[in-house]
Chains A and B, each alone.
Chain A
């Protein structure tokens, strides 16, 4: 019984509990402030909005765990979206049908994976800093995308794409289902696969990992490639949600993905962190912004509140780690 509890705690992460408590407080507060918060409509709209940011955060999460960063997540998603749009239009635009959609998604994922793979190779084999490499990739992809689209929108997709962005199964929005599935895959990948094990080790000490037989170069290449794949999934979802593709869509999300990772207790220096607390952190961010929106607050204000919230969490973590009365009963 005790073992099972310990196991649960180590899988879930001690970081999740305070975040869940905070989430609960916020839900109660918003419910009392406005009757429109605790409604199916509100929850459904949150469940449609969250997944794009969620997928992009998963794309950011593993590079941070490995001690790096992937600044190219948004534009990788955009370029993948372009690949999708280009394929769909080649195969008949609005009349393309399911096969066109499958080809398009395959093309998007191939482009996303290729972008991540190139970044991973450069980072692993040249030893260049991930921030520089992904920044260069981000600028390259943005320029390429703007050149190809001349800065405009591409639209006119088959109706099937609509299901990914706006559909629902048993009342649960399809985007949310995709995001939850991705989060579960990420959790299993990090906690239970050799690749995930290697990511944590590489994030803590890459040289010691290499000396212990971890294939560090392959680990880095693979993790950026997977990051590119999940970016592509986000790109497809963005195309489906907005029914158009434009380079620059979701640009504001870039630093929010980093924020969500840190809020979820990912160590900025790599090596430590779990998926579930990040998942909870994302929900908190969504609840904050939807709640404030319902209260009639300005969109920009909710961005400001996100930042304030992260500062508050940092302070709270410091207090929890330093006040003696909170330390009592802890083993270490």
Chain B
């Protein structure tokens, strides 16, 4: 596609120019300045002479694929790891030779890790004020004072959360805010946020980004780590890209594109064009008529044809996953009918769905998609045990091995040994095993629910390559995702779901990502 390519080339030139330009005079003092930071773990060079700086009050994104050294860098700044000799660490203009976690905290450096490290059974106020509640000596705690201060911090962020509700009753998005508030109670001046939006919906994300901007206006420097390129470009003024432990460069986000950023992170070119095709003459595989389930979705009509990829997007909570659960027999629809290859089906469990040829890749890969602690081999065959039976109806290790080898090879999963636990794999390879598991069931309909959550940019392209290939073999595919660009580039048709109803249908070739986003987040 010539217009796209020329934009990419222009962006590349721009990027190269800017990264080569001599440092402009800094307008603001630096909150953090790192130079020559290296770290080796057991022969693996996690960081190689990386420099990194953050201005006071700046929102700075740290980007790179899993394993590129982002977490190691954060841990060096916060004193968890010590860097190899030769590193320079300057914080708020002061040079430090040795950093410790306590020193980092006293300087106002706080980290919000992805898992938040909060206390689910304590109240919001207790979580925010936690660091004041603990100490070496037992002492009386002034509850009202704590409430007042916690409230003041939340007011500073411009949000209100009931201080007395227990943390585990809150949605993830609000827990995220609680974690930020807790960091601010410790007078954070430099805040690292590790993948804060990975489990948030788009609307929750935009609210969180607003909070981050508020922090920035108040002079708190925020280092934002995210896989979602769109929000990286939206929130930050500069982005530092790491790849394989090396600094690729520091780029202003003005003029940067997602495609260009993806290239910088992976070192490979992403010229994924639109892949939409017209499948209207293929036979229908799935036909859904007036399907409804109270409180979840109603009057849903949709058809997916052989070889067709139908994208379904909309806000989280719009009923997308609920619809998928009804299509795989996890819940039963109260109204309407579902036909598969023209035959009316009534599913009572996911086992019925598998028998009929419906496969479901869950949005929650770690909790529902895989049995993480068990082996790659067992996870691959779990849905097709009846196909690896040998003598006397016993499971045959040889047949299992053959099946696993076949699918691992076919989907190019990078593994050490099939007996290793699946949690040793990267997100992208885990998702390939999930696909292998479902492809082994020989599905007619494949439902992909947010298939790229927690998957690197580079690995995402690989996943969608497989999806296209499957569609070409005649599998009908329902692609559910809240990443608009992903749906746009990989679907043949796009359905927009609002409050459990299908509100619109779009042809990817006749619409743009901006237009779709406007309709969805209107």
Contacts and interface: CB of A to CB of B under 8 A. Distances in A.
Interface of A: 7, 10, 188, 191-194, 197, 200-201, 204-205, 207-215, 271-272, 331-332
Given A188-B394, A193-B394, A201-B382, A215 B351 contact: yes
B373 A205 contact: yes
A213 B386 contact: no
B350 A204 contact: no
B394 A192 contact: yes
Contacts, number: 70
Contacts of A272: 373
Interface residues of B, number: 32
A210 B349 CA distance: 9
A272 B394 CA distance: 20
Contacts of A209: 371, 382
Contact of A197 (B350, B373, B385): B385
Contacts of A212: 371, 379, 382-383, 437
Contacts of A211: 330, 350, 360, 362, 368-369
Interface string B369-411: 1111110001100110110010001110100000000000000
Contact of B374 (A7, A201, A207): A201
A130 B394 CA distance: 28
B416 interface: yes
B386 A214 contact: no
Contact of A208 (B371, B416, B419, B420): B371
Given A192-B394, A213-B354, A271-B373, A208 B385 contact: no
A212 B360 CA distance: 9
B496 to A, nearest CB: 27
B367 interface: yes
Nearest to B397: A7
**Interface-central residue, A10, A188, A214, by most chain B CB under 10 Å:** A214
Nearest to B438: A212
Contacts of A193: 393-395
Nearest to B366: A208
B424 interface: yes
22 contacts: A188-B394, A194-B385, A194-B386, A194-B389, A194-B395, A197-B378, A197-B382, A200-B378, A201-B382, A205-B372, A207-B367, A207-B368, A211-B330, A211-B360, A211-B369, A212-B371, A212-B382, A213-B350, A213-B351, A213-B382, A213-B441, A332-B420
B193 to A, nearest CB: 29
A178 B362 CA distance: 45
A215 B351 CA distance: 8
A315 to B, nearest CB: 24
A242 B488 CA distance: 76
Interface in B322-375: 330, 349-351, 354, 360, 362, 367-374
Nearest to B352: A213
Contact of B419 (A10, A192, A197, A205): A10
Given A194-B385, A204-B372, A211-B369, 19 more contacts: A188-B394, A192-B394, A192-B395, A193-B393, A194-B386, A194-B389, A194-B395, A197-B385, A200-B378, A201-B382, A204-B374, A205-B367, A208-B367, A208-B370, A209-B371, A211-B330, A211-B362, A212-B371, A331-B416
Contacts of A271: 373-374
A207 B364 CA distance: 11
Contacts of A331: 416
